[in-house]
Amino acid sequence: MRMARGFPVVAVTGPRQSGKTTLARATFPDKSYLSLEDPDVRLLAESDPRGLLSRFPDGVILDEAQRSPELFSYIQTSVDTAVRPGKYVLTGSQQFGLVSGITQSLAGRVCMVQLLPFSLGELQAEGRLPADLDELMFRGLYPPLYDRDITPGDWCAGYVNTYVERDVRQLIAVRDLSAFQRFLRMCAARTGQLLNLSSLASDCGITHNTAAAWLSVLEASYIVFLLRPHFRNYNKRLVKSAKLYFCDTGLAAWLLGVREPGQLAFHAQRGALFENLVVTEFLKARLNRGLPPDIYFWRDSRGLEVDLLLENGEELKPVEIKAGQTIASDFLDSLKKWGELSGRGDEPAWLVYGGDEEMRNGNVTIIPWRGLPKLVEKM
């Protein structure tokens, strides 16, 4: 609502099934609603856009707005003629279509809100947070898995097939869908790793340019996101590659072939999935507040790494992530070394781990995974 008081158009983007429509209709219950997935509505938007908008003088929610980009120019005319905050609410599950239309026609008139799947805090507030960490990572956080009687495996299979058939075909001309699905699984196998497009392309049997294009599609449709390295080097050579993460651990686990929570206990990717879970919680916290996602990692050429750096002006908050349930002696090494290099050794730092007890070690606060909601709220 804060955004709607300052802009005539609010655009809500995010992955399919993340709750964009539910959020828009719950936040603006008095507004009419149209889905541009409906062929009849889309035909009317294409043939008589001015007439369609004139039926809703108080504004309207337009779901999957990227399906009718010709409407954007007419929305611009409408809001320029009579400025009214929060008049139009647009939702879309593809960044390419929605954002390109907005930048061409609605720049300066629209605020962008990104909605990812549930956060741990939202589930915790409703008493729906799984008691077991492996169950949580396996299930993921997409809303349908918490309000329907459906297994994660069945839902993920349908989601991937629908996504590949619809979004990928709309965004790029993929001739070999099986090759794209193989590419998607190879991305899951690299969760939490530095992105090496040449290696990824080689393993999938495609060209570097094709891999770059396909990765852009995965980003645009909120399947993956790239965590950028922080630029401050402290007289060290820095890694410049981004790290690859999925927007949901459940989808990544399914793509890795995990079919039940028990398989995660000894899975080689368990640590990467836990890291993915924690990173996405900080990302959601920023996006849910309408803030830029100023989160990074820091790594030098010798391999010294801090999993997360949260930036707020000149303030940097380092967060290390470990999946183990027992605090090992080396868990704090990276935080201590980074503190020495940066001259911030006495400032607060945090370690999130897979155990159950909160504790302190010097300037480091050690947070169990269930304590993540409180941590991200105050960060």
Same domain, 132 and 248: yes
Contact 239, 301 (CB under 8 A): yes
Residue 250, in any domain of the structure: yes
Number of domains making up the chain: 2
Same domain, 212 and 148: yes
Instruction: Estimate to the nearest angstrom the gap between the alpha carbon of 245 and the chain centroid.
Output: 9
Residue 354, in any domain of the structure: no
Region 198-226 average pLDDT = 92
Same domain, 101 and 140: no
| DSSP track, 201-219 | HHHHT--HHHHHHHHHHHH
Residue 371, in any domain of the structure: no
Residue 333, in any domain of the structure: no
Residue 283, in any domain of the structure: no
Residue 332, in any domain of the structure: no
Same domain, 30 and 145: no
Q: Could you tell me the end-to-end alpha-carbon distance of the chain, in angstroms, rounded to an integer? A: 22
Same domain, 82 and 143: no
Instruction: Label residue 358 by pLDDT band (50, 70, 90).
Output: very high
Domain end call among 84, 114, 144: 114
Same domain, 186 and 258: yes
Same domain, 72 and 99: yes
At 10-66, the pLDDT tens digits run: 889 999 899 999 999 999 999 999 999 999 999 999 999 999 999 999 899 999 888
Domain span at residue 16 reads 9-114
Same domain, 143 and 102: no
- Which pLDDT does position 3 carry in this prediction? 67
Same domain, 46 and 128: no
- Which pLDDT does position 235 carry in this prediction? 60
Same domain, 105 and 167: no
Query: Which CATH number fits the domain that encloses residue 21?
Result: 3.40.50.300
Burial string for 71-102 (b: 16+ CB within 10 Å, else e) reads bbebbbebbeeeeeebbbbbbbbbbbbbbebb
Residue 21, in any domain of the structure: yes
Instruction: Estimate to the nearest angstrom the gap between the alpha carbon of 373 and the chain centroid.
Output: 16
At 55-105, the pLDDT tens digits run: 999 899 999 888 888 888 898 888 888 778 889 999 987 665 566 666 666
At 278-328, the pLDDT tens digits run: 999 999 999 998 888 889 999 887 888 999 999 887 889 999 999 999 999
Same domain, 107 and 125: no
- Which pLDDT does position 278 carry in this prediction? 98
Residue 32, in any domain of the structure: yes
Domain end call among 114, 146, 164: 114
Mean pLDDT over all residues of the chain? 89
100 CB contacts (<8 Å, ≥6 apart)?
69
69 CB contacts (<8 Å, ≥6 apart)?
97, 100, 101
pTM for the full predicted model: 0.92
Same domain, 140 and 169: yes
